[in-house]
Amino acid sequence: MNSASKPNIELHVPPRDLSDRFAYSFVKLLRFFADLFFRKRYGHRAVVLETVAAVPGMVGGLLQHLKSLRHIQDDKGWIKTLLDEAENERMHLMTFVEISKPTPFERFLIMIVQAIFYNCFFFLYLLSPKTAHRVVGYFEEEAVISYTAYLQELDAGRHENVEAPQIAIDYWNLPKEARLRDVILAVREDEAGHRDVNHAFADELN
């Protein structure tokens, strides 16, 4: 579980073509707005952004499922991987909402963002699954960076290292005395896994 010492936890796949550059610019633009809005409120940032992060896996899973039916062709395990990713991201949300409660304005924002993001991502995936997976790969690169920054806030004592919520202890099989830091390490490891899977899917769709 001690992934803080892993040298390659923050990894970046350089954009190689137009589709990658589009994905990267799109994610960097969203990052700019997220930084502007949340600044160092990492708990709130996690809650709001995990409501977005849990969408692509479900959309990708659905569209790969339909593709498998339509072409009567094996999915090479993609559907389950993507649906598992959506479920894992939803568990991140259920965990962080125990740590930070969204403000009424954030709850409003979550609804608006879901309405826009779900539709945009759905159409992006229909048009270019490769770009859609690259977008998720870059999202996850940013998620890893944000959770590292969250850890730094904890380590600097600017954020209380509270007890881990029970839901997190159960989900990641953490020891009973686990703290928020252990939870963030586990979540960051998940994000790095999604990053690698989605970049690999984008590569395969070349």
Instruction: Give residues in contact with Fe ion (CB under 5 A).
Output: 50, 53, 89, 92, 140, 143, 191, 194
CB of 67 to Fe ion, least distance (A): 23
Q: Is 41 or 68 the residue whose CB approaches Fe ion more closely?
A: 41
Q: Which residue is nearest to Fe ion (CB)?
A: 92
Q: How far apart are CA 112 and CA 181, in angstroms?
A: 31
Q: How far apart are CA 111 and CA 107, in angstroms?
A: 7
Burial class of 72 by CB neighbour count within 10 A (0 to 12, 13 to 18, 19+): exposed
Classify 163 as helix, strand or coil.
strand
CB of 107 to Fe ion, least distance (A): 19
Q: How far apart are CA 32 and CA 126, in angstroms?
A: 26
Strand positions, DSSP E, 75-139: none
Q: Is 89 or 98 the residue whose CB approaches Fe ion more closely?
A: 89
Q: Is 68 or 113 the residue whose CB approaches Fe ion more closely?
A: 113
CB of 60 to Fe ion, least distance (A): 13
Q: Is 194 or 199 the residue whose CB approaches Fe ion more closely?
A: 194
CB of 175 to Fe ion, least distance (A): 22
Question: Which residues are registered as beta bridge partners of 163?
Answer: 179
